[in-house]
Structure 1
Amino acid sequence: MAEITAAMVKELREKSGAGMMDCKKALAEASGDMDAAVDWLRTKGLAAAAKKSSRTAAEGLVGIEVQGTRGAAVEVNSETDFVAKNEQFQAFVRDVTTVALDAGDDVEAIKAAPLDGKTVEEVLTNNIATIGENQSIRRAKRLEVSNGAIVPYVHNAQAPGLGKIGVLVALESEAGADVLEPLGKQIAMHIAAAFPLALDETGLDQDVLERERAIATEKASESGKPAEIVAKMVDGAVKKFAKENALMSQLFVMDNKTPVADVVAKAGKDAGKPITLKDYVRFQLGEGIEKEESDFAAEVAATAGIKK
């Protein structure tokens, strides 16, 4: 049986919001596997969510830029938040975001693209040497419409077009900017807050849905109800998850009662021009990255051979 340390219990508490003893038991049941422990807590109704979007460990910046009917979002990571406030680093993120408008989503293509007489990768290498901290271009996404608008939004921007959560919304329509810009801004704010996993239910990752089905099955099986009732409970739980995590079916955060699809349809009807929410991108700094936190007391204890 895997040894469960206080540090592991603390990490699980931060991820799940569950109580200390429940976290300890979950880790024991999962033989120390953190993700499995989160799932165990969820099957017992002790953890509210599987998403870890609030635990963004990496530092750096998300850059957002729009030019005409094209937009790009780029995440550039650094080791510390201090570097994210560095003007040289901020200028680099802006430049890389501009490059992505032409280079597209492929990070290697972005690195190979020209910038100030060098390649982006060469400029990055120079920045690492002069700033004295490791940096990396993690991901990029470009959106484009043939007719309509790409609307940007940066939540709590640290500088123009730079922040820790960046959103782009692609609206295809012949409606004017006076309609599309405010609509796109509201939808982008919704996306920043609601963290949809896909544009619609058909776009949801099947592995994610299967994981939800497994959790729902275990929870429902503990109800003691007949198999046919359990099956319906599981189907209902998975459908609910899909509805709550697909952008078009999420309830609009501005009123918490109207599906986003209906908001878009009404805006198009009012404008007399159909509006299609074609795509979106939401980048949250460090999303999905786990970074070791420095704990001096733990380091001393480890050196002395003391378990913490």
Structure 2
Amino acid sequence: MTTIMDVAAAAGVSASTVSYVLSGKRTISAATRSRVERAIEDLGYRPHAGARALASNRTNVVGLVAPLREDVNVNVIMQFVRSVTTTARHHDLDVLLLTQEEDAGLRRVSSGSLVDGLLVMDIEADDPRVDVLTSLDRPTVLIGVPDDPRGLSCVDFDFAGAARAAVGHLTSLGHRRIAVLASPPRSLTRHAGYAERVRDGFREAVRAAGAEGAYQPCEPGAEGVRRSLAAVRSELPGVSALVVHNEAALPSLLAVLAEEGLDVPGDVSVVTIAASEGANLLRPLTSLDIPALDVGRIAVEMLVARIGGERTAETRLLAAPLVDRGSTAAPRG
């Protein structure tokens, strides 16, 4: 294995000079720097992670805060986690995963200089962590968008836009009574940002189209689906189309509709807003696929930029096209 001493010998300098070239802590002449860099490239030298950290005052570790709450779909969360960790490796970063909701973990990893920056998932509309994060001396990127980001950069899927696109597709087919089977009730109770944005986008689109709509939270499982369908039909008799923003409920929904003798899309059209790998379904569904891999990748790239000194806050919302997989059609009659 090539060592810093090998590089120093090849460049005709001391090991400390090689270290200064790598860390940038002292001014080195252009000619000397060029010899050292050429020796590093020729020998294929890669500094040890611990040495890099000491030289740069960095840990080469980022923290990923992904609370595993009862109302979140772990399979979906892990798609984001996989993307973050894969992208981080491309930047020579490791990822420290924090799964607790408490603020103490954020303060501990920051005050102990365990991480160079933080990525925080599952953002609520008025997220109490935002106050904590803005008080910490660590670059931070939110995967989600609170009502007031307070100068923090954010990236997320455009959930409101997806809801509007789903309604637009269904009304273009002639549907006038459309319902959402939404995230579990607890997601709304705690004001999860993604749940509220789907709700608001749906209601806005229904009003704009002059259609009728019902928004119904839904627990996963057959019984939860049956209760939510009953509530929708009571509020909106004759509903002919469903927008489903609940990956965990999709298999049960298809099973319940089949038990009732209802054909998709002949009797009821179904559009989903879902992470593409979030549900194991017997048939494809027309969907706006949440680009979890793109969101995770961009979040890491934004954090790397902020660790590198970029201080301009930005919010990026990613859109997705509606993919017609044959689960929607014009209403009968």
If the length of structure 1 is used for normalisation, what is the TM-score?
0.26
Rg larger for: 2
